[in-house]
Amino acid sequence: MRINKYIAQSGFCSRRQADEYVLEGRVKVNDKIITMLGFEIRTKDKVYIDGKLVKADKLEYYRFYKPSGYITTKSDEKGRKTIYDIIPKELHHLNPVGRLDKDSTGLVILTNDGNLQYELTHPSKKVAKTYIVKIEGKPGDIKLQKLNEGIEIEKGKIAYCDWAIIDEDKQTMTFEIVLYQGMNRQIRKMFEFLGYEVVNLKRIRHANIELLGLKRGEIKPIKPRQIKELKLYLNKLNKEE
């Protein structure tokens, strides 16, 4: 097994973070420092990061309903409130899968399974994430078509999405938006480019995991059956690459 996958499966960190540790010379296999990406681990090998033995933990999977006003990180240099201010302390070892900005609400998956975290967030996987988005104003079809075609929200970064109008009144429109990318504040920036402000954004689904059944601020374990279905879904995506 490749060293980054071994470390990720232990729950220590994600594959990408494991690669960084390898390149920084912080990973040792038995008594030898490893700096080669793709190094293969054997069954009897012992792996250390910064002198700490990496061993398999019980893998845990939770879904959390993030309220507005919290950022999706373990700590913040600016002193802003994070989701770990409201998540029970016994679950603080879990890592968020992707992020929601401070003003957004909805589903956040939390896990110590670094391999699953990698599969759900790596750009090449194109895992679907579904949102309910309300905007101020009523763009026409020509403008909305740009959401499908792609919008350069930053230099060299083209953002796109699938969308459907699910409600509207005289002043607002509400959409179901499906993303296959993970750019920072992507939906807000796309509508800002079109000239409209997002007034409400909630993630309701990540792959096959849904927000349904959670109250705001609540966290619950994901059922083993759902994790099995999630891994089957990810395996299918891998075969389509």
- 136 strand-pairing partners: 172, 197
Question: For this structure, is 101 an active site residue?
Answer: yes
Number of H helices, E strands in the chain: 6, 15
Residues 190 and 76 in one domain: no
Residues 45 and 87 in one domain: no
20: helix, strand or coil: helix
CATH of the domain at 65: 3.30.70.580
Residues 105 and 219 in one domain: yes
Residues 184 and 202 in one domain: yes
Give this prediction's pTM. 0.81
Residues 118 and 212 in one domain: yes
Residues 173 and 105 in one domain: no
Question: According to the model, what pLDDT value does residue 165 have?
Answer: 97
For residue 122, pLDDT over 90 is answered with no
pLDDT, one tens digit per residue, over 44-76 is: 899 999 999 988 678 899 999 999 999 998 888
Number of structural domains (the chain) is: 3
For residue 27, pLDDT over 80 is answered with yes
- 205 strand-pairing partners: 130, 210
Residues 165 and 235 in one domain: no
Which one of 19, 31, 101, 113 is the catalytic residue? Answer: 101
Question: According to the model, what pLDDT value does residue 241 have?
Answer: 62
Residues 135 and 179 in one domain: yes
**Domain extent at residue 18:** 3-53
187: helix, strand or coil: helix
Centroid of chain to Cα 32: 33
Residues 151 and 47 in one domain: no
Grade residue 123 by pLDDT with cuts at 50, 70 and 90: confident
CATH of the domain at 20: 3.10.290.10
CATH of the domain at 160: 3.30.70.1560
Residues 138 and 200 in one domain: yes
